[in-house]
């Protein structure tokens, strides 16, 4: 099957099927190995920029904002609030009937942030998702444990894995129908080889397996694909150690899809052949090709929702530097959001920094979960310690945080089940189909909707 991006984005013709594409049914867009140096990568990007700026004017938002013939260098940032203000279809770059899916990213206030994709873009999403150091194949069983509702990430993994010939287990997340006891059963009974979840989720599976009387291991697991929250290297190593499988970290957003993933050397590379990254310095207003600052992206093949210099507001360090993996893609380190974290005793602390110390504790203490509160002059930390070593673990964590982060710190050990309640781990199926007729002794309190 050859899929075309038939909007005239690429020289008015169709793309696909040529040499160097990533396999039958692929999008035909660039694949790793198609370019051999950063210079040829830049040429690939350069070729796409002017057509994308032209195409953007098909959307109501950019039609108002751009002059005909304007170059990207003179285009201002597109902010998240621009997308919210354009809800629902102000960013639409193609006729509505060409859309395949509509999504929203979770927002807490005001209009949601919409995102839409054509069928051809779905092929590209799958192509980018399967770019992995541990690839997905027909022998694999992938458990998707990401919310499906309106979010792109669950559906994308589902679709990409099916196209790769794998078996998909749509486990969802935060669904009443799939409590943790059921996840543990699926992971074990189906010999799940790959999972797609947040990193936090994987540690809850371990606790749920232990609560169910297993040792917490899932022997068939080959790799854990994780995304959705930043993770410290110590937590990552701990997950790998407990589950005996590599953690492959992904980075992306609902508006554009996958943006980066780990290479076989364990470094995260940005998909700069598909999306042009730039680095914005909010203090000076400067935009650079690489460096540290806010990540600003221009997707090079986005047709349903063209975006020019879209500010993701994530602070990253991006460098065009060689890596032994040979992918010839810039490396990216996601450092978090500007202004995130709290001040303790005059020092700014982020979650990742504290987390790094928690998971550097020796594995023997069995610490899976923690929480902390930033007070004015000290950090108060609680760790769940299942065994008898709570005192020792607490003293050791307090010492390491005080020594390396330079803040006063009080750590206490709390019993297992305090931070992640055991009843939630053991909970059985709670979803009930709507029903109106009941027997004489049955509970009819929640006949139609569960409260
Ligand atoms: Zn690499």
In a domain, 88, yes or no: yes
Radius of gyration of the chain (CA): 24
- Give the per-residue pLDDT at 16: 36
CA of 264 to the centre of ligand 1 (A): 6
CA of 280 to the centre of ligand 1 (A): 24
- Give the per-residue pLDDT at 436: 84
CA of 265 to the centre of ligand 1 (A): 5
- Give the per-residue pLDDT at 108: 60
CA of 431 to the centre of ligand 1 (A): 44
CA of 336 to the centre of ligand 1 (A): 21
Output the CA torsion sign for 100, 148, 310, 107.
positive
In which region does residue 33 sit, left (phi positive, over 0), alpha (psi from -120 to 50) or beta (all else)? left
Q: Do 332 and 346 have their domain in common?
A: no
CA of 322 to the centre of ligand 1 (A): 8
CA of 24 to the centre of ligand 1 (A): 25
CA of 129 to the centre of ligand 1 (A): 16
CA of 250 to the centre of ligand 1 (A): 14
- Give the per-residue pLDDT at 435: 80
- Give the end-to-end CA distance of the chain in Å, rounded to a whole number: 47
CA of 324 to the centre of ligand 1 (A): 6
Q: Do 261 and 406 have their domain in common?
A: no
CATH of the domain at 100: 3.40.50.12780
Q: Do 366 and 295 have their domain in common?
A: no
In a domain, 30, yes or no: no
CA of 450 to the centre of ligand 1 (A): 49
Q: Do 108 and 252 have their domain in common?
A: yes
In a domain, 12, yes or no: no
Cα torsion through 385, 391, 394, 399, rounded to 10: -150
- Give the per-residue pLDDT at 444: 84
In a domain, 435, yes or no: no
Counted domains in the chain: 2
Q: Do 113 and 212 have their domain in common?
A: yes
Q: Which residues contact 346 (CB under 8 A, 6 or more apart)?
A: none
In a domain, 443, yes or no: no
CATH of the domain at 409: 3.30.300.30
CA of 40 to the centre of ligand 1 (A): 17
CA of 10 to the centre of ligand 1 (A): 29
- Give the per-residue pLDDT at 96: 98
- Residue 189: how many CB atoms within 10 A of its CB? 8
Please answer whether residues 403 and 396 qualify as being in contact, where contact means their C-beta atoms are separated by less than 8 angstroms: no
CA of 284 to the centre of ligand 1 (A): 31
CA of 219 to the centre of ligand 1 (A): 28
**Alpha carbon distance 409, 373 (integer Å):** 10
CA of 296 to the centre of ligand 1 (A): 22
Q: Do 167 and 198 have their domain in common?
A: yes
In a domain, 118, yes or no: yes
CA of 388 to the centre of ligand 1 (A): 42
CA of 272 to the centre of ligand 1 (A): 13
Q: Do 328 and 347 have their domain in common?
A: no
CA of 333 to the centre of ligand 1 (A): 12
Indicate the residue among 319, 337, 355 that finishes a domain.
337
CA of 51 to the centre of ligand 1 (A): 30
CA of 354 to the centre of ligand 1 (A): 27
- Give the per-residue pLDDT at 106: 67
- Give the per-residue pLDDT at 321: 96
pLDDT tens for the 451 residues of the chain, in order: 333 444 444 433 333 333 333 444 578 899 999 999 999 999 999 999 999 999 999 999 999 999 999 999 999 999 999 999 999 999 999 999 999 999 998 666 678 999 999 999 999 999 999 999 999 999 999 999 999 989 999 999 999 999 999 999 999 987 778 999 999 999 999 999 999 999 999 999 999 999 999 887 899 999 999 999 888 999 999 999 999 999 999 999 999 999 999 999 999 999 999 999 999 999 999 999 999 999 999 999 999 999 999 999 999 999 999 999 999 999 999 988 767 789 999 999 999 999 999 999 999 999 999 999 999 999 999 999 999 999 999 999 999 999 999 999 999 999 999 999 988 898 876 556 778 888 999 888 877 776 5
| Strands 291-299 vs 275-280: parallel, antiparallel or unpaired | antiparallel
Q: Do 377 and 249 have their domain in common?
A: no
Q: Do 362 and 383 have their domain in common?
A: yes
SS3 292: strand
CA of 274 to the centre of ligand 1 (A): 17
Indicate the residue among 316, 337, 358 that finishes a domain.
337
Q: Do 321 and 394 have their domain in common?
A: no
Please answer whether residues 93 and 235 qualify as being in contact, where contact means their C-beta atoms are separated by less than 8 angstroms: no
Q: Do 280 and 361 have their domain in common?
A: no
**Alpha carbon distance 398, 253 (integer Å):** 36
SS3 347: strand
Q: Do 360 and 326 have their domain in common?
A: no
pTM summary value:
0.91
CA of 27 to the centre of ligand 1 (A): 23
CA of 321 to the centre of ligand 1 (A): 9
**Domain carrying residue 208:** 38-337
CA of 430 to the centre of ligand 1 (A): 44
């Amino acid at each position: 099957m050859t899929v075309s991006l038939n909007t005239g984005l690429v020289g008015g013709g169709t793309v696909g099927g040529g040499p160097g594409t990533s396999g039958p049914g692929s999008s035909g867009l660039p694949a790793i190995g198609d370019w051999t140096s950063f210079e040829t990568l830049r040429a690939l990007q350069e070729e796409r920029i002017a057509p994308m700026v032209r195409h953007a004017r098909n959307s109501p938002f950019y039609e108002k904002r751009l002059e005909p013939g304007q170059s990207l260098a003179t285009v201002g940032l597109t902010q998240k609030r621009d997308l919210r203000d354009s809800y629902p279809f102000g960013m639409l770059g193609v006729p509505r009937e060409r859309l395949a899916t509509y999504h929203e990213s979770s927002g807490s206030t005001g209009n949601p942030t919409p995102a839409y994709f054509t069928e051809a873009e779905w092929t590209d999403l799958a192509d980018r998702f399967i770019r992995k150091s541990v690839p997905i194949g027909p022998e694999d069983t992938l458990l998707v444990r990401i919310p499906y509702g309106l979010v792109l990430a669950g559906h994308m993994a589902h679709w990409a894995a099916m196209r790769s010939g794998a078996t998909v287990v749509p486990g969802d997340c935060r669904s009443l129908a799939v409590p943790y006891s059921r996840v543990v059963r699926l992971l074990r009974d189906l010999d799940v080889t790959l999972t797609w979840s947040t990193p936090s989720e994987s540690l809850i599976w371990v606790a749920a397996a232990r609560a169910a009387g297993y040792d917490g291991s899932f022997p068939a697991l080959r790799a854990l694909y994780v995304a959705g929250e930043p993770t410290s290297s110590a937590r990552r190593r701990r997950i790998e150690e407990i589950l005996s499988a590599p953690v492959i970290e992904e980075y992306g957003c609902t508006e554009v899809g996958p943006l980066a993933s780990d290479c076989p050397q364990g470094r995260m590379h940005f998909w700069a052949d598909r999306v042009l990254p730039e680095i914005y310095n909010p203090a000076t207003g400067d935009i650079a090709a690489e460096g540290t600052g806010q990540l600003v992206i221009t997707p090079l093949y986005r047709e349903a929702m063209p975006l020019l210099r879209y500010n993701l507001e994530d602070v990253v360090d991006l460098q065009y530097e060689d890596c032994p993996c040979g992918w010839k893609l810039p490396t990216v380190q996601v450092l978090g959001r500007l202004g995130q974290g709290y001040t303790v005793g005059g020092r700014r602390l982020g979650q990742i920094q504290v987390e790094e110390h928690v998971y550097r504790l020796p594995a023997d203490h069995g610490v899976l979960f923690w929480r902390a509160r930033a007070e004015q002059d000290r950090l108060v930390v609680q760790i769940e310690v299942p065994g008898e070593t709570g005192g020792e673990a607490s003293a050791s964590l307090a010492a390491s945080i005080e020594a390396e982060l330079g803040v006063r710190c009080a750590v206490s050990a709390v019993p297992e089940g305090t931070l992640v309640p055991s009843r939630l781990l053991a909970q059985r199926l709670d979803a009930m189909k709507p029903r109106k007729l009941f027997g004489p002794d049955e509970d009819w309190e929640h006949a139609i909707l569960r409260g």
